C-alpha cells in the first residue's frame, strides 16, 4: 500500500465519545485525514451501502462502537476486494463475535485491544512480572476497575487484560466468564475482580497483590480520552503496513511478551 499520502481513516461509532475523541485528535495531525465517519448501520439499512463506500475511501477504519457492530464491520471489511485495515477498541465480545473477527483477520490486518493507552500496556508487563515473582499461596490478586455509568460490559476489557497478564505470570489461564460473586472465603490462587460504575469516570484500573503482612498495588488512571485516541491513531499508522492477521497493542509498541 502506498504510504506517501496521509493516512486516510474512517471512524466507526462516530457518534460515541471515543469516536468523537478520535476525530478531534486526528484533526491535530497533518499525517492523518478523516475520510469518512459512520455509526452503526444495520445490515438491512441503506446506510450499509454508504458504509461500504466509506471503506473504499480509507486506509484504516478505527472502530469504537459495540461488540456486535464491530464483529459485523470486520466481516464487511473482509468482503472488500481491497480491504482497509481495522483498529477495534470495542470490548465485551462473546465467543461468536470473537470468531467472526478472527475469520476476518485472514484477509484484514486488525489491531484489537481492550485499551490503547501506553501506560496501561506498560502496566500489563509490570503485573505479569509481579505475578511471576510473588507465589500464589502467599499473595492474593485483586483487579479493580471503575468507569462511567454508561459502560455496558463488566469487568472492563482492560480489567480482563490485567487479569490475563496476572494469570500468565503464574503460568495459568484466566477462566472466563469471570464471576463477580464475592460470597464466601477467598480461594487460594484465584484472581478476583471488583467493579465500580458511576458518573463520568473515564477509566481507573489497579491490581493489588495482598499477603498477610504487606500489600502491593499497581495502578493507572485515565485523565482524558485523548490518550486512547492517540493510541488508536498510533495503531492505525502501524497496522496500515501490516499483512493480514490479528494483532494487539503489545505488537504495535513492540513489547516483548516472553
**Identified catalytic residue from 56, 112, 151, 220:** 151
147 is catalytic: yes
151 is catalytic: yes
| Cα 71 to Cα 43: distance, rounded to the nearest angstrom | 12
CA distances from 66 to 16, 25, 122, 192 (A): 10, 21, 26, 26
Q: What cell does 20 get? A: 468523537
CA distances from 135 to 157, 178, 257 (A): 26, 22, 20
| Cα 253 to Cα 244: distance, rounded to the nearest angstrom | 18
Q: CA nearest 257: which of 139, 164, 189?
A: 164
Listed in sequence order, the residues at least 6 apart from 139 whose beta carbon sits closer than 8 Å to its beta carbon are 209, 210, 211
Within a 10 A sphere around the Cβ of 142, how many other Cβ atoms?
Answer: 20
* Cβ pair 176, 160 in contact under 8 A: yes
Q: What cell does 141 get? A: 490478586
The number of C-alpha atoms within 13 Å of 53 and in the hemisphere containing its C-beta is 7
**Identified catalytic residue from 147, 190, 205, 220:** 147
177 cis-preceded (ω within 30 degrees of 0): yes
Within a 10 A sphere around the Cβ of 108, how many other Cβ atoms?
Answer: 24
Active site residues: 147, 151
Amino acid at each position: 500500500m502506498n504510504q506517501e499520502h496521509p493516512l486516510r481513516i474512517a471512524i466507526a461509532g462516530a457518534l460515541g465519545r471515543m469516536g468523537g475523541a478520535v476525530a478531534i485528535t486526528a484533526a491535530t495531525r497533518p499525517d492523518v485525514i478523516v475520510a469518512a465517519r459512520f455509526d452503526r448501520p444495520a445490515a438491512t439499512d441503506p446506510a450499509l451501502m454508504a458504509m461500504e463506500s466509506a471503506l473504499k475511501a480509507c486506509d484504516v477504519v478505527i472502530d469504537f462502537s459495540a461488540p456486535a457492530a464491530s464483529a459485523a464491520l470486520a466481516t464487511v471489511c473482509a468482503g472488500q476486494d481491497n480491504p482497509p485495515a481495522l483498529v477495534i477498541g470495542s470490548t465485551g465480545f462473546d465467543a461468536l463475535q470473537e470468531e467472526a473477527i478472527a475469520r476476518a483477520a485472514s484477509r484484514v490486518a486488525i489491531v484489537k485491544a481492550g485499551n490503547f493507552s501506553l501506560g496501561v500496556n506498560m502496566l500489563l508487563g509490570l503485573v505479569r512480572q509481579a505475578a511471576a515473582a510473588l507465589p500464589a499461596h502467599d499473595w492474593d490478586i485483586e483487579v479493580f476497575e471503575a468507569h462511567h455509568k454508561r459502560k455496558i460490559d463488566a469487568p472492563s476489557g482492560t480489567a480482563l487484560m490485567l487479569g490475563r497478564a496476572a494469570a500468565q505470570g503464574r503460568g495459568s489461564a484466566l477462566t472466563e466468564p469471570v464471576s463477580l460473586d464475592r460470597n464466601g472465603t477467598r480461594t487460594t490462587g484465584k484472581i478476583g475482580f471488583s467493579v465500580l460504575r458511576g458518573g463520568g469516570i473515564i477509566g481507573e484500573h489497579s491490581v493489588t497483590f495482598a499477603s498477610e503482612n504487606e500489600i502491593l498495588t499497581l495502578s493507572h488512571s485515565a485523565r482524558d480520552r485523548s490518550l486512547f485516541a492517540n493510541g488508536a491513531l498510533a495503531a492505525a499508522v502501524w497496522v496500515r503496513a501490516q499483512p493480514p492477521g490479528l494483532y494487539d497493542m503489545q505488537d504495535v509498541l513492540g513489547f516483548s511478551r516472553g
